[in-house]
Amino acid sequence: MKKNTFARSSMQFRAIYVIAVVGLVASIAACNKSKTVTASTATDEVLRKAAGNPLLQNAEITSVVTIANMRTSADGKTTKVMFNRNEQILNVPGAAEIAVLKNAFANNQAVQITFDPWHATVSSVRLATTQDQEYFHNKTVTGSAGAAIKLNGTATDEVINHAADMGVLNLTTDTLTKVIPDFNTAQLMFDYIAHQCCELPGPYTLDHCITFQYCEDGCYARAHKMCMIINSKYHYGTQKVFSFANDAANVDELCVKAEKWNGCCINWWYHVAPLVTIKTPAGPKAYVFDPAMFDQPVLLSTWLHAQENPACVPGGDVPHVTMINIQPTSSYSPAGSSGYYFDTDPLYSDTNSTLVSYRHLVSCP
């Protein structure tokens, strides 16, 4: 067992908001669209923050991370970097910053970066402290059994939607039920989870609200918290599905339009959400819980297709999910770009730290 897990959690993911304009962001928004919120309704109308809010537009984030992969543009002027924790692909325009990152990547070192999440641009990089380096090198990484599936365009939606049967369902305990009996039951769970969104005024029934309103990053923390709720409150088993754009021969990105949050385009190199099995008239099928993207559980194929939005790619190329990996609930975030190794967060220390860090951020400001 790692020592001082809680004390070190802040070193693993530290988010420091650098705000150029001091002010109060006051807004009540929801993570689901539809009816007004009452004690008996499960969905509500999305009320967005003002797009021109200067407080949000001038925020930067500083965090300590490790590097999964780097891609340099054809003209050599820009490098795109994929960090193991961050799902968002970040651009690094500065030559000095690129040099530090390349050296850290080659030597498996952690770095401290400052970046603008809404322009996906890194402004500064330096090597992490010795203490942070030690923390990252001592982390628990698992190559746990799962179902890694390369997607080359030949897998039909029907095959993908039965993918849960190919995974290893990690129920955590034998007391959890493997299959949700019907869609209505799943929807009730989904609505409860969605209403823990940090855009709602609360009070929340969890220790921390969930950052569904901020799609750029944090899927790993949201997924971990959602699985905990499904397991402990509702007693149904879960897996996690990780989607990747990690084909070394291509420069694919996962491209999604944040339709619930004013419709801006967001590019990821991976994404993760809880995967459950729901009984349907056509048999059990794999469904995904992702309130950051949808207002209800969706078929696995629907979730994957939403990450291949050509409207979000310059030049009109079609983005591709190149791989999925169906993992036990314990897998937290990728540990490398291969999609076969994962960090864990058994004490939810990193999960809670991330949720606290991102609770005031929104997509498409």
Taking only the tens place, the pLDDT of each residue in 65-86 is 999 999 887 667 778 999 998 9
What DSSP character marks residue 304? H
What phi, psi does 221 have (nearest 5°)?
-70, -40
Share of the chain above pLDDT 70, in %: 74
The dihedral built from the CA positions of residue 170, 174, 175 and 177, taken in this order, carries a sign that is: positive
- Least confident window among 10-24, 142-156, 170-184, 203-217: 10-24
Residue of 107, 66, 132, 147 lying closest to 343 (CA atoms)? 66
Per-residue pLDDT, 270: 96
As a whole number, mean pLDDT of residues 173-188 equals: 90
- Least confident window among 88-92, 204-208, 347-351: 204-208
Per-residue pLDDT, 316: 57
Task: With a cut of 50, say whether residue 326 has pLDDT above it.
Answer: yes
Q: What confidence category does residue 214 fall into, taking pLDDT thresholds of 50, 70 and 90?
A: very high
Per-residue pLDDT, 352: 94
Q: Across all residues in the chain, what is the average pLDDT? A: 79
Neighbours of 188 (CB within 10 A): 12
b/e code 48-81 from CB counts within 10 Å (16+ = b): bbeeebebbeebbbebbbbbbbbeeeeeeeebbb
Higher-confidence position of 33 and 328: 328
Token digits for 245? 């754009």
- Looking at the DSSP bridge assignments, the partners of residue 147 are 326
**Which residue type occupies 25?**
V
Per-residue pLDDT, 279: 92
Per-residue pLDDT, 349: 92
- Across 40-44, 184-188, 314-318, the highest mean pLDDT is recorded for 184-188
As a whole number, mean pLDDT of residues 323-344 equals: 91
The dihedral built from the CA positions of residue 44, 289, 215 and 358, taken in this order, carries a sign that is: positive
How far CA 220 is from CA of 15, 87, 172, 211, 212, in Å, comes to: 15, 8, 18, 11, 11
Per-residue pLDDT, 277: 92
- Across 84-88, 172-176, 187-191, 323-327, the highest mean pLDDT is recorded for 187-191
Higher-confidence position of 266 and 169: 266
Higher-confidence position of 51 and 94: 94
Q: What confidence category does residue 60 fall into, taking pLDDT thresholds of 50, 70 and 90?
A: confident
Domains of the chain: 5-137 (2.40.50.340), 141-358 (3.10.620.30)
Give the span between the Cα atoms of 222 and 231, in whole angstroms: 14
Per-residue pLDDT, 314: 67
List all residues 6 or more positions away from 64 whose beta carbon is below 8 Å from its beta carbon: 11, 12, 13, 14, 110, 111, 112, 128, 132, 136
Q: What confidence category does residue 275 fall into, taking pLDDT thresholds of 50, 70 and 90?
A: very high
Higher-confidence position of 22 and 281: 281
- Least confident window among 60-64, 80-84, 183-187: 60-64
Share of the chain above pLDDT 90, in %: 47
Task: With a cut of 70, say whether residue 347 has pLDDT above it.
Answer: yes
List all residues 6 or more positions away from 12 whose beta carbon is below 8 Å from its beta carbon: 64, 132, 135, 136, 139, 350, 353
What DSSP character marks residue 94? -
- Least confident window among 57-71, 202-216, 246-260, 346-360: 246-260
What Rg do the C-alpha atoms of the chain give, in angstroms? 20
Cβ pair 322, 250 in contact under 8 A = yes
Higher-confidence position of 148 and 281: 281
Per-residue pLDDT, 137: 82
As a whole number, mean pLDDT of residues 20-44 equals: 32
Task: With a cut of 50, say whether residue 319 has pLDDT above it.
Answer: yes
